[in-house]
Chain A
Amino acid sequence: MSTALADNLGQPAFPGSVLANTGTITARNLRRLARVPTQMALATIQPILLVVLFTYAFGGAIHVPGVTHYIDYLLPGVFVLAIGFGASQTGVAVAEDLASGMIDRFRSLPITSGSVLAGRVAADAVRNLLVVGLMIAVGSAIGFRFHAGPAAALAAVGLAVAAGIAFSCLNLLLGIAVRDAETAGLAGLFPVIIFTFTSSTLVPVATMPGWLQAFANINPITVMVGALRALCLGGPTARPVTEALAWIGGLLLVTVPLAISRYRHAIST
């Protein structure tokens, strides 16, 4: 063995490129996703349940003007809800990595801190793509249809995944800040619950009391769901999509630098 450990001693390893390192970390996180049973359940069973439960439990009670099938109205909203729930797992995962010492190990390696965080967010984006695909498949089986053509449908999927990336970055920051998996999970869920239920995700804003309408109309979740609906159901898309992208961009501009700077000082305890 001695040769195995001995050769090249003293020769520094060359750091891989940022992209290659991000790919390595992404692959690691995706492996975990496939192997951790609770993660798999959250990525598969939960979105299916959301689609089916809301469609059948609320579908009979809610009539949205201009929409024949509630599921056509519902599904873009449930994309955001499922992605929001899923994003809390980004914070949980980074808090777990902090607690287990993995972050210490990564930080002692010759890689940029951005690779570790980008690998986390990229893996979660892949998961979100699967989640959205699964929801479209289940939704289609029970009556959902895209009404604005394939290009708009693809744009809807892309926008949903982009929203997921922004949510993940917010949770990344939360996870690094609270450093505890359970706390990170809860901290990530609260904003999702509060913001989705005070938005147009499940019901039209017009059915809400006036004071709540005022909030619901400016709620970023309403903006994102509105853009997704425009892409799925048809109608003018330029303005809602621009507004949604502005929110996503704004969220990223705030959370990414904060997450990177906190990560650089984070150590396992």
Chain B
Amino acid sequence: MGDQPAIVAEGLSKRFGPVRALDGIDLQQRAGTVLGMLGPNGAGKTTTVRILTTLLAPDGGRARVARLDVVAQAAAVRRLIGLSGQYAAVDPYLTGRENLAMIGRLYGLGRRAARRRAGELLERFDLAQAADRMARTYSGGMRRRLDVAASLVAQPPVLFLDEPTTGLDPHGRIALWELLGELTGHGTSVLLTTQYMEEADRLADAIVVIDHGRVIASGTPGELKTRIGGDRLELQTLPGADPWPLAQALAALGTGPPVVDARAGRVVLPVTNGPEFLAEVAGRLATSGLRVADLALRRPSLEDVFLTLTGQPGDGLAHAADGTGPSAGAGSPEPALGRTR
């Protein structure tokens, strides 16, 4: 595909009755890259994926995948894409091998080629041991892996993964991340949706953040992190200690003013190049004779991204956020140092 974009969407819109699921989505993905689509539940990620994979027709706008129009050339698009949806779509009453061989046959592989391909993928996804057991006996993570394997049967140049790490344990998550690296190394373009900033940050060459059916920000992970202020340094005072001296001692190290939650005894400081600062932080604490109960460096969560980009928490973030976001200052009776929301 050369320098042609793998995916281009212009002004995609879609309504479901009164609900405006997509409200003019624009995006562009270079071939051979990973595009991370980041957003909370209900933001429109799955609807976008469904339109791009020809499952759903948009009400407005246009989209091309591998230079083909997803509406007018839907059948041709289907030959060039792989899809792993949000729910593991494997047949529970077929074995892992039968599931993959069936998909291979439907892609037009001969019986033997389909079985050989199934064998390769089972091996690759660490399912060889369970290959001849019905998928209903698999754990959630195994089923998830089988589903992702199914999307790779035809070695599609464009791969859509809708929240692929949902239900995977840390081991499976890392294995999938490695696999994505290999795929893009061989020229595959991957569109990945996720609720996790960390995942998008780690995997994606470019990120689009969507909320309420609109793209609210896009750029490389680096650009976005600059906009949202990089990492967060979180400090917890000793029980009963006043966090203000701590905040004042460290304020100069941050890229922005620290946020203080006096009641919780917590200070949150936005920083860049976090790890390099830790030694300096420790030094300042030592010279000013301050002690802390806990000190942690944390990636911005999806909630941080939304707070920064929209000034308000995204909807439906209860599960995505870890609950210790920069809202740390929100409950403070005193105004946060320098920053109020």
Contact = CB atoms under 8 A, between A and B. Distances in A.
B106 A108 contact: no
B154 interface: yes
Contacts of B107: 13-16, 109-110
Given A4-B120, A31-B93, A109-B78, A104 B55 contact: yes
Contact of B83 (A5, A6, A102, A105): A105
B124 A100 contact: no
A101 B85 contact: yes
A32 B87 CA distance: 20
B303 interface: no
Contacts of B134: 35
B202 interface: no
B106 A9 contact: no
Contacts of A13: 79, 107-109, 154-155
Contacts of B102: 24, 27-28
B85 A105 contact: yes
B182 A267 contact: no
Contacts of B152: 5
Given A10-B157, A109-B106, A2 B186 contact: yes
A268 B94 contact: no
B53 interface: yes
B283 to A, nearest CB: 46
Range, interface on chain B: 35 or more
A61 B98 CA distance: 51
Interface in B89-128: 89-94, 98, 102-103, 105-109, 120-121, 123-124
A110 B68 CA distance: 14
Contacts of B155: 5-9, 11, 13
Interface in B69-93: 75, 78-83, 85-93
A9 B186 contact: yes
Nearest to A267: B55
Contacts of A15: 79, 107-108
Interface string B1-31: 1000000000000000000000000000000
Contact of B93 (A6, A36, A110): A36
Contacts of B98: 28, 31
A235 interface: no
B79 A35 contact: no
- Between B91, B98, B103, B152, the greatest number of chain A beta carbons within 10 A of the residue's beta carbon is seen for B91
B284 interface: no
A111 B187 CA distance: 25
Given A5-B186, A36-B93, A12 B53 contact: no
Nearest to B47: A267
Contacts of B88: 101
Given A102-B89, A268-B87, A20 B50 contact: no
A107 B55 contact: yes
Contacts of A108: 53-55, 78, 81-83
A102 B91 contact: yes
Nearest to A100: B89
Among B53, B105, B134, residue most surrounded by chain A Cβ atoms (within 10 Å): B105
A57 interface: no
A101 B53 CA distance: 14
A111 B75 CA distance: 8
Nearest to B160: A108
Interface string B27-54: 0000000000000000000000010011
Given A25-B106, A36-B93, A110-B75, 14 more contacts: A1-B182, A5-B124, A5-B155, A9-B157, A9-B188, A13-B108, A14-B79, A16-B108, A24-B105, A32-B93, A101-B85, A101-B88, A102-B91, A104-B89
26 contacts: A1-B124, A2-B185, A5-B124, A5-B183, A6-B186, A8-B155, A9-B157, A10-B187, A13-B107, A13-B109, A16-B108, A24-B106, A25-B106, A28-B94, A31-B98, A32-B94, A100-B87, A100-B89, A101-B86, A104-B89, A105-B85, A109-B106, A110-B106, A267-B55, A267-B56, A268-B89
